Chain A
Amino acid sequence: MSRFIATAAIRGARAIVDEADKLLTDAVQKLGPDTPVAFPNTTYFLPVIYGLTAHKVQKLSDLNWPLQHAKDLLPPVPRGNLWLPYLGETLDAGMATLYAEEIIEGVRWAKGEQPEVRNGYKLNGPIDDVQMRAWGIQMVDGRMPGFAAIIGAAKSNEVAVKIVRELQSKGQLVFLIGNNKGRSIIDQLLESGVELGYDTFTVTFGTDTVSAIYALGYATRAGISFGGFKAGDARANLLYNKFRCFAFALALGPVDDLKYATAAGAINYGFPVIADTAIPNILPTGVTKYEHVVSLPFDDIAGKDDLEKAERLVQRCIEIRGIKIKVAQIKIPVAYGPAFEGEVVRKENLRVEFGGKGGMAFEWLQTKNLDEVEDGKITVVGPELDDAPMGSKMPLAIMVDVAGRKMNKDFEPVLERQIHHFTNGAEGIQHMGQRDITWIRFSKSAVSKGFHIKNIGDILHAAFHNQFGAIVDKIQITLYTDPAKVKDLLEQARVVYQERNVRTANLTDEAVDTYYSCSLCQSFAPTHICVINPERVGLCGAYNWLDCRASYEINPRGPNQPVPKGAVVDASKGEWEGSNKFVYEHTNMAVQRMTLYSLMDAPMTTCGCCECVMVLLPETNGVMIVSRDDYGQTPSGMTFTSLMGTVGGGLQTPGMMGHGKFYILSKKFISKEGGIKRVVWLSKNLKEEMAEELKEVCEREGVPDLMDKIADGTICTTVEQLVPWLQEKGHPALAMDAILQ
C-alpha cells in the first residue's frame, strides 16, 4: 500500500465526512428531522447504507446513525514518521467516504437538489430498480461484462468520445461522473453530440465526485438481487461484486483527496481504479481480483495519436479487470458452422491451396506477454490470394499469438490443434493436418464470395475468444505468404515442435501429482470413468492429460476433473489412494479400486468407445490387441464388436480392457504384466499404422525383433493356430512368469 495514497484517501475521507455532517445538521435545522429522504424508484432506500448495514433511511434523522458509523470508521491521518501497512485503514476510510457521499446525496434529494441539472440538461442521477434488474440480468448471464465508472474529464472532447465508444463496443455499461477543474466528461460528450441515456448504456450521475456513490448503489442492489443476500450481509455483497461484477473506475485527470477516498471505497467492492495520470500504483492482488490502483499516464501510452492512446487505455482497463471478450459473430463472407466441417474441396472446385504434397504450410501458436499482443490484430505478410493462378499452391504460415493471465505454455499444442476444427467450420474451406503437415484448400465458390487469407485470422480470433476465453484474453494472428519468410519461420517452428515432443515424452506419471478424469461416457456407461495420466490417453484416444488439464481450466465444472494421486498403494500396478477414492466416488461407488498399469488386477473400466481391446489369452501366457477398425475374427474367438458387448458398458473385467492405441507405446503399458513383451497378436492395421513407433518401443524394451513374433489376422485367428506359431518364432511371452497366478 502506498503511503501517499493512504494519506490522501484518509484526508479525503475526513473532509467528506465532515462535509456530510455539516450538510446534515444544516438540513435538519432548516427542513426538520422528519423530512423524507429517498432515491427515486427504488425499494432499497439509500442502497449502500441499506445493503451493507441493513439500516433503512427514510427521513433526515435516519441519517444520523450512518453518519456516526462513518465517523467511527475514520482512521487518523498517518503521520509522516510512522510506517503502517495502511491497507485496512485505507479501506475503512473508503467505506466512511461512501457512507458520507450517500448521506450527502440523500440530503440533496431531501432538499430537491437532485438529479442535477447542468446547462439546462437534466442528468439521470441514480439508476432505478427496473433498469437495475434489466442490466443486472445481463451482467449475470454475461451479455454485459460489467460497468466502467468514468470520473473527471478527458484530455479533449475527441478522447472522451473515443473512450466511451470503445467501452460501448465492448458491451460495458458506462457511468459518467465528476469533473476536472469544473469540466466534466458529461460536458464533453454532450458538446460532441453523443446520445446519453439508458438506451445507449451511458448513465449521467452527476458532475461532482460525490455522485460516484450511485455506481456503488447500483452494484450493492445487484448484489442483493442476484446474489440472493440479505440486506446487511456486507461481506457477501462485497465478495459477490468482486467476483461477479466486472466493474472498474477510470479516473481521467488529476486525482484529488476525495477521488482517492472514493477509490478506496470502490476497492472494498473489488473494483480497481485506473488513472490516466501519474500516481502511485497499488499492485498486490488481494482485495480486488487484480491490481487495486493502476496508473497509465495518458501521454505515455503508445499510440500514434490521442485516439489510438484512448483505445489502448480502454484495452488496458479491460485487461486489468479481467473482462472476457466474446465475439458474437464471426465476420467472414461465407457461412460458418459445424455443418461445414466435413466438407471436401475437390480439384475441380479448387481456387487455391496451402500445404499438401509439395507445398509449405504450417501452424504455430505461441504464448506471449499481455503487452506483446494486440487483440484482434490480423496481418497478412506477403501477397493475398487475388493474383494466385487458379488451382495453384501458395506457401502459408499461420502464426497465432495468444496472451492471458491463465494461459500456460503447456496449453499451446492443445489450442493449436483447434485451428483445424475452427477453420474447417467455414463454408468452402477444407483443413487437414496440423503443425507442418497442415493442408488447407479454399474452394472457388468461397473465394468468389470474397473469402481471403485474412479471414482465417477473423475465424481464429473469434473462435479462440469464444471457446477458450477462460484462458486467453488477447489474440493476434499473422498470416505469412511470403515464401522466404514462411521458410524461415517454418524452421523455427520445427525446433519448437521438436521441443514440445521432448516435453511430452518427458512428461511422466511420476512428474505430476494430479491426474485428470473424464466422465463424458457416463451418459451411456454409468459406472465408467477414465483416469487419464500423462502416460496414458483416454481409451477413446481423444483426450490426453494435457487436454484434460486445459479443459478443466476452461470449464471447471465440466467432465474433466483433477484426480489427486495421493499416497501410493502399489507403484508397480499404478494404484494410488487418491485415484481409488476418486473412482469410487465418481462411479456411484460401483468401482472400488482401479489400477492404471495392470490388466489382471482391477483394470480400468471400459465404455463403448475404446480404440482397442486387449484380451488375455491364457494358452499363450500373453495378450492380444484388436483394433476398432479390424472387423475380422481374433484368437479370443470374438470379433471387436462381440468383445465390446462383453467388456463395454462400464465394466471392470480383469483380463480384458479397452484402451487407446497410443497406450501401447507407453512405458506404462501394462507394465505390471511385463509391457509390450506380452503382446502375442495385434491387429494388422495397427501394426502398419504405427510401424515406426512400435519399432522404437520394441527397441526401447530390449526386444528389437519383437514385431516379427507378434501375429495378426493374416497369420492366424485361432489360439490353436497361434500357440505353435509363437513357439516357432520363440515369442518372449512363452517364457515369462505365468500371467495367471
Chain B
Amino acid sequence: MPVEIPVEKWNGQVHQVKLGGAGGRKELVVGGENTLPFLKFEGNIPHRPAVAIEVVDQPPQGWAEPLVKAWGNVLQDPAAWAKKAAEYGADLISLRLRSAHPEEGNTGADHARKVVAAVLAAVDLPVIVLGPEVAQKDNEVLVAASEVGRGQRLGLGDCLDKNYRTIGATCLADGHVAIAKTPIDMNLAKQLNILLSDLGLPLDAILMDPTTGALGYGLEYTYSVMERLRITALMGDKMTSPPMICTAGEESWRQKESKATAGVPQSWGEQEQRAILWEKITAIGLLNAGANVIVLRHPRTVEDVKAAINKLSA
C-alpha cells in the first residue's frame, strides 16, 4: 500500500551563517534550511549540522578520566589540542578561555591574545572563542580575542543580555559572529536577537545558544524550546531564525552518569562507554531538535555523531 508522506509548507527559513572563510580560514556555512531537521523530502537543507570540538586554554580541571586519556598531552597546549581536534574531524574549534575566570587563573586580555593567536595559527578551521562565563571578564578577553581574529569571522560568546552591547559592538567592528546565549527560554532568545539587531548586528552574524540540558538533566526542556524556536522561524519569524549551537559535550560530561566510576549500580556498565553514550545521545537529541552546530568533547563521540549526521542527511 502506498503511504503518502505528509508534507508541510513553511514560509520561513533559517538564516545562513558563515564562519571563517577569510584570512586563510576555511569557510563553514550553517543554517539555510526551510524545513525541520533532516526532513529532506519536505524542504531544502543546504548545509549539514557542523561538529565543533571543545578546546580549553588551560589543562581542564575536573575532567573525567576517559576524556583526559583520550586527549593526553595536548590538554597542556591549546594549539596542539586544536590541531589534534582537526585531525579527529572537527568542522570547527570551540575555544574556551577558562583561565580568565577569576577563580581559575584570572588571566587577562594579554593572555587571551596569545592563546587565540596560537590556536588560529595552528589550525585553518573556523574558530569560536568563548569567555570564562563571568560577564565582566568575558568582555575583557573577548574584545582582545576579537582584535586578534579581526576579519577572520570568528564566533564570539557568550553574548548575554548583560553584555550584548559590548559583544555585539565588537562583532560589528571586527566582522565576527555573536554566540547569543539565553537561559532555555524562547522569548528571551528572541529578545536578545532583537536587541542585537537594534544594535545593527545582522541576523546572519548570530548563532543562538539556547542553553543545553544534558540527557536526564533537562534535555527535554532544551529540546522543546529549540523546537518552538525553529517552528516559529519556519513560520516566518525572522527574529528566531538564526541557527542554533548546543554545548552537548560540556553538559553531558558534567553529569554524574559520565563521571562516576564507583558506587553506582552494576547495570550502569563501564564508565567510558557510558559517558560517551551519554554525550552521544544528548548530541543526537539536540541535532534532531534543530542544532546547527554541536560542540563535543570526546573524539569517539565526534566520530559517532558525524556518522549519525551522515546517515540522517543521506
Q: Select which of B165, B184, B202 is within 8 A of A141 by beta carbon.
A: B165
Whether B194 lies near A137 (C-beta < 8 A) is: no
Contact A523 to B188, CB < 8 A, known contacts A557-B194, A557-B195, A589-B235: yes
Contact A140 to B187, CB < 8 A, known contacts A226-B173, A589-B235: no
**Shortest Cβ distance from B126 into chain A, in angstroms?**
21
**Shortest Cβ distance from A640 into chain B, in angstroms?**
25
Is A136 an interface residue when CB atoms closer than 8 A count as contact? Answer: yes
Name, among B163, B188, B191, B200, the residue most crowded by chain A CB atoms within 10 Å (CB to CB).
B200
Q: How far is the CA of A526 from the CA of B190 in the complex (A)?
A: 13
**Given contacts A522-B185, A523-B186, A526-B228, could you give 18 more A-B pairs where the C-beta distance is less than 8 Å?**
A137-B143, A137-B170, A140-B165, A140-B168, A141-B139, A141-B163, A141-B166, A226-B169, A226-B172, A227-B200, A228-B201, A228-B202, A240-B200, A522-B187, A523-B185, A523-B188, A558-B191, A588-B231
Q: Which residues of A contact B147 (CB under 8 A)?
A: 133
* 17 pairs of residues in contact across A and B, judged by CB atoms under 8 Å: A133-B147, A137-B143, A140-B166, A140-B169, A141-B165, A141-B166, A141-B169, A225-B173, A226-B169, A227-B200, A522-B187, A523-B188, A557-B195, A557-B198, A558-B191, A588-B231, A589-B235
Whether A133 lies near B186 (C-beta < 8 A) is: no
Is A142 an interface residue when CB atoms closer than 8 A count as contact? Answer: yes
Which A residues are within 8 Å of any B CB, using their own CB? 133, 136-137, 140-142, 225-228, 240, 519-520, 522-523, 526, 557-559, 588-589
Q: How far is the CA of A559 from the CA of B190 in the complex (A)?
A: 11
Is B307 an interface residue when CB atoms closer than 8 A count as contact? Answer: no
Q: Which residues of B contact A227 (CB under 8 A)?
A: 172, 200
Q: How far is the CA of A140 from the CA of B201 in the complex (A)?
A: 12
Whether A136 lies near B165 (C-beta < 8 A) is: no
Q: Select which of B143, B163, B173, B186 is within 8 A of A522 by beta carbon.
A: B186
Whether B199 lies near A140 (C-beta < 8 A) is: yes
Q: Select which of A226, A228, A523 is within 8 A of B187 by beta carbon.
A: A523
Q: Which residues of A contact B201 (CB under 8 A)?
A: 228
Contact A133 to B173, CB < 8 A, known contacts A228-B200, A523-B188, A526-B228: yes
Is B58 an interface residue when CB atoms closer than 8 A count as contact? Answer: no
Contact A559 to B187, CB < 8 A, known contacts A137-B173, A140-B199, A228-B172: yes
Q: Which residues of A contact B232 (CB under 8 A)?
A: 588
Q: Which residues of A contact B169 (CB under 8 A)?
A: 136-137, 140-141, 226
CB neighbors of A among B152-203 (8 A): 163, 165-166, 168-170, 172-173, 184-188, 191, 194-195, 198-202
Q: How far is the CA of A133 from the CA of B143 in the complex (A)?
A: 10
Q: How far is the CA of A136 from the CA of B195 in the complex (A)?
A: 18
**Shortest Cβ distance from A540 into chain B, in angstroms?**
16
Q: Which residues of A contact B163 (CB under 8 A)?
A: 141
Q: Which residues of B contact A589 (CB under 8 A)?
A: 235
Q: Which residues of A contact B224 (CB under 8 A)?
A: 526
Contact A137 to B228, CB < 8 A, known contacts A228-B202, A557-B191, A557-B194: no
Q: How far is the CA of A519 from the CA of B166 in the complex (A)?
A: 27
CB neighbors of A among B135-159 (8 A): 139, 143, 147
Q: How far is the CA of A228 from the CA of B187 in the complex (A)?
A: 26
Q: Ordered nearest first, which 5 A-B pairs have the shortest CB separation?
A: A141-B165, A140-B169, A141-B166, A523-B185, A225-B173
Q: Select which of A137, A141, A226 is within 8 A of B200 by beta carbon.
A: A226
Q: How far is the CA of A137 from the CA of B146 in the complex (A)?
A: 12
